[in-house]
Structures are given as structure tokens and as C-alpha cells.
């Protein structure tokens, strides 16, 4: 067990290092830089030069990389070219936005997992019936629908026409709520985006759950359980679903890891101050340090989630422990 953990840890460490290198050079080979975005035609070359020097972009690429690594080892993600949320420290801005993104997307994820697993199980159990076809195609339509379009539809119906929810943002502008009122206001803003994301992802879980369950339901141990007279409910809950959890856990882990990457379209559309929206803003302005920071955090989250999942497999499936 200990040896397996160590091996996985070293491989995770190696991957992280590779990702850091990749992240650094990826943005620097993108066309355009700080000056092309900021500068209007009447900006003088001197000003441009000063801007570039101030941000350290005039130094050779390898020197820049050396500085970046040195800062990183000190836990410093550098400072952004612009101000976000009244701060230009990359780490501070990112850390400040993590709660918003995590709360929104975790809620969406949980909605999707629960509904997806229920739909998948029902579909597998009632396989090849109209109920199966209906539920499955319904969730697939939602899954394949572009998120931004689905989000706009929801905004149009629920915010503009029915006026049930605010169209975007985190708090109602101009209010200074405290305590319970604040939470209520926050939840009201969160409801639509999280439902939107949750329903959009149901298909992903439903399809996997269905196909896994169909495979499991034809296994001999399920038939044996039936022959022993166990009720269908008991067989599904005790034998089938636990065995279906292994492939499900893989997808859940991957999706949860992607949470820290934010949902760019969703957050941008709902003006949700999360990491996805931050990435969109930074990319728009070619803000290298901020982009590097965002990408680093989201890729590290994926690597970390994979590492944790590898360890957890041993507990989910006793055969992996060896």
C-alpha cells in the first residue's frame, strides 16, 4: 500500500513539473502580447517600451522562465499586469475567487451526479422500454446542447419573462445584507447557473451509469441474487450500484477536478465572479501571469484529484489494493 502511494506521488510530482513548463511557454507563443492589447495607435513607442520593461517581457525567454520558477518555489505566483477585484497579486485574486467557483460548480456537480445516477439506474433496469428511451434521449439532448445557449434560454425564460431569478452577478447591486439575508441573496443568484450546469451534465453520468449497470445486471451474481429471492430494490442497491461505482468514481473525480478550472462560458454569461470568468478576462488582455496562475491551479487540481482517486480505488475495489 505504502509503496503504491509513493509511486503515485512521484508520478504526480513529475506531471506537475511538466505542466508548469508547458504553461509558461504556451502563452508566450500565442500571437500578440501586452502592448498589442493595451496600445492604441497613438501610444508612443517609448510608452510601449516602458510597459514591456516593467512587466519583464524584454528579458530573454529562459531568464523569464528562471525568474518564474524561482518565484514559484517561494509560493509566489507573481503579479498580474492588471487589477482584478482590487488586487494585482495573482495568488490573492485566485484564492479570493475559488469559493465562488467551488460553491457553484460543486452544487451543479452534486445535482448532476444524483440525477444522473438515478436516471442511469432506472434506464438500465427498464432497458429497451419507452421510459428508457425517453429519459436517456432527454438527458443526452441537454448534454449535447451548447452550455451558453442553454444558459441563455434559461435566462430568457426565468429571468426576463418570469422574473424569478436575477440575470447575473453574485449579490444584488446596492444592497448591504448581513447574515441570513446575505446567504439568501447569494443562493438566489446561484440557483439558475448551478441548475443550468447540473442539468447539462446529467447526460454524462446517466449514460455511463446506464451502460455500466446493463453490464452488471447480466452478471451471474445478480442472477444468483435473483434466484435467492432477493427483492429487486435490494439487488440494485446492494449488489449492482456498488459495483457500478468504480467507473462512476473515475468520471466524478475527473469532473470534480475540472471544477477549479471554472466554467468559462457559464460564469461569463451569468457574470459569476469565479475562476472561469477570471480566465476569460485574463485571456482577453493577454495577462500572462494571471493566465499561468489560473492554468496552474486548475491543472494541479486535476493531478491532485487523480492522485487521490488512485488511492481511493483501493478502497472501492478490493482487487486494486495489491
Partner 1 sequence: MAEKMLEVKDLRVSFEVKKGLAETLMGKKETIKAVDGVSFEIGRGEILSLVGESGSGKTTTGKAILRLAPVTGGSIKFEGEEISGKSQKELHEFRKKAQMIYQDPYQALNPRQYIIDIVGEPLDVNDLCKTTEERLERIKKALENAGLVPPEDYLYRYPYELSGGQRQRVAIAGSLIMNPEFIVADEPVSMLDASIRTGIIKLMLEQRDKMGVAYLFITHDLSLAWLISDRIAIMYLGKIMEMGTADEIINHAEHPYAKALINIMPIPGKMIDSGRDILEGETPNAAVDIKGCKFCARCPVRQAICETEEPELREISPGHLCACHFVK
Q: Which residues bind partner 1 (CB under 8 A)?
A: 219-221, 223-232, 234, 239, 242-243, 317-319
Closer to partner 1 by Cβ: residue 53 or 219: 219
Closer to partner 1 by Cβ: residue 87 or 223: 223
Give the residue carrying C-alpha cell 466554467: 263
Distance set, CA 35 to CA 25, 41, 47, 83, 283 (Å): 18, 11, 9, 16, 14
Closer to partner 1 by Cβ: residue 1 or 227: 227
Distance in Å, CB of 123 to partner 1, minimum: 17
Distance in Å, CB of 320 to partner 1, minimum: 10
| Angle between helix 90-125 and 275-284 (nearest 10) | 120
Closer to partner 1 by Cβ: residue 192 or 235: 235
Distance in Å, CB of 308 to partner 1, minimum: 20
180: left (phi over 0), alpha (psi -120 to 50) or beta: alpha
Residues near 3 by Cβ (< 8 Å), separated by ≥ 6?
none
Closer to partner 1 by Cβ: residue 87 or 232: 232
Distance in Å, CB of 1 to partner 1, minimum: 16
Distance in Å, CB of 137 to partner 1, minimum: 15
Distance in Å, CB of 100 to partner 1, minimum: 38
Query: Residue by residue, what is the 3-state secondary structure of the chain?
Result: CHHHHHHHHHHHHHHHHHHHHHHHHHHHCCCCCHHHHHCCCCCCHHHHHHHHHHCCCCCCHHHHHHHHHHHHHCCCCCEEEEEECCEEEHHHHHHHHHHHHHHHHHHHHHHHHHHHHHHHHHHHHCCCCHHHHHHHHHHHHHHHCCHHHHHHHHHHHHHHHCCCCCCCCCCCCCCCCCHHHHHHHHHHHHHHHHHHHHHHHHHHHHHHHHHHHHHHHCCHHHHHHHHCCCCHHHHHHHHHHHHHHHHHHHHHHHHHHHHHHCCHHHHHHCCCCCHHHHHHHHHHCCCHHHHHHHHHHHHHHHHHHHHHHHHHHHHHCHHHCC
Distance in Å, CB of 234 to partner 1, minimum: 6
Distance in Å, CB of 230 to partner 1, minimum: 5
Closer to partner 1 by Cβ: residue 8 or 226: 226
Closer to partner 1 by Cβ: residue 123 or 269: 123
Give the residue carrying C-alpha cell 498589442: 36
Distance in Å, CB of 219 to partner 1, minimum: 6
Closer to partner 1 by Cβ: residue 117 or 302: 117
Amino acid at each position: 500500500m505504502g509503496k503504491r502511494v509513493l509511486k503515485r506521488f512521484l508520478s504526480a510530482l513529475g506531471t506537475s513539473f511538466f505542466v508548469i513548463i508547458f504553461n509558461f511557454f504556451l502563452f508566450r507563443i500565442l500571437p500578440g502580447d501586452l502592448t498589442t492589447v493595451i496600445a492604441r495607435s497613438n501610444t508612443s513607442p517609448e510608452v510601449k517600451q516602458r510597459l514591456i520593461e516593467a512587466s519583464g517581457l524584454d528579458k530573454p525567454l529562459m531568464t523569464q522562465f528562471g525568474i518564474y520558477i524561482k518565484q514559484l518555489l517561494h509560493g509566489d505566483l507573481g503579479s498580474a499586469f492588471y487589477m482584478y477585484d482590487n488586487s494585482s497579486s495573482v495568488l490573492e485574486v485566485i484564492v479570493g475567487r475559488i469559493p465562488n467557483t467551488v460553491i457553484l460548480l460543486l452544487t451543479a456537480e452534486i445535482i448532476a451526479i444524483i440525477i444522473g445516477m438515478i436516471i442511469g439506474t432506472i434506464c438500465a433496469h427498464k432497458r429497451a422500454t419507452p421510459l428508457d428511451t425517453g429519459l436517456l434521449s432527454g438527458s443526452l439532448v441537454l448534454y449535447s446542447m451548447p452550455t451558453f445557449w442553454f444558459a441563455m434560454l434559461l435566462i430568457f425564460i426565468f429571468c426576463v419573462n418570469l422574473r424569478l431569478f436575477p440575470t447575473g452577478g453574485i449579490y444584488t447591486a446596492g444592497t448591504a445584507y448581513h447574515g441570513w439575508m446575505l446567504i439568501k441573496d447569494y443562493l438566489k443568484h446561484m440557483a439558475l447557473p448551478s441548475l443550468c450546469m447540473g442539468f447539462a451534465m446529467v447526460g454524462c453520468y446517466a449514460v455511463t451509469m446506464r451502460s455500466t449497470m446493463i453490464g452488471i445486471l447480466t452478471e451471474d451474481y445478480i442472477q444468483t441474487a435473483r434466484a435467492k429471492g432477493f427483492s429487486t430494490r435490494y439487488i440494485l442497491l446492494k449488489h449492482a450500484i456498488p459495483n457500478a461505482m468504480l467507473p462512476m468514481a473515475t468520471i466524478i473525480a475527473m469532473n470534480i477536478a475540472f471544477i477549479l478550472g471554472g466554467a468559462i462560458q457559464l460564469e461569463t454569461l451569468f457574470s459569476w465572479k469565479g475562476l472561469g470568468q477570471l480566465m476569460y478576462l485574463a485571456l482577453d488582455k493577454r495577462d500572462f501571469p494571471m493566465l499561468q496562475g489560473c492554468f496552474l491551479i486548475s491543472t494541479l487540481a486535476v493531478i491532485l484529484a487523480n492522485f487521490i482517486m488512485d488511492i481511493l480505488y483501493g478502497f472501492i475495489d478490493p482487487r486494486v489494493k495489491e
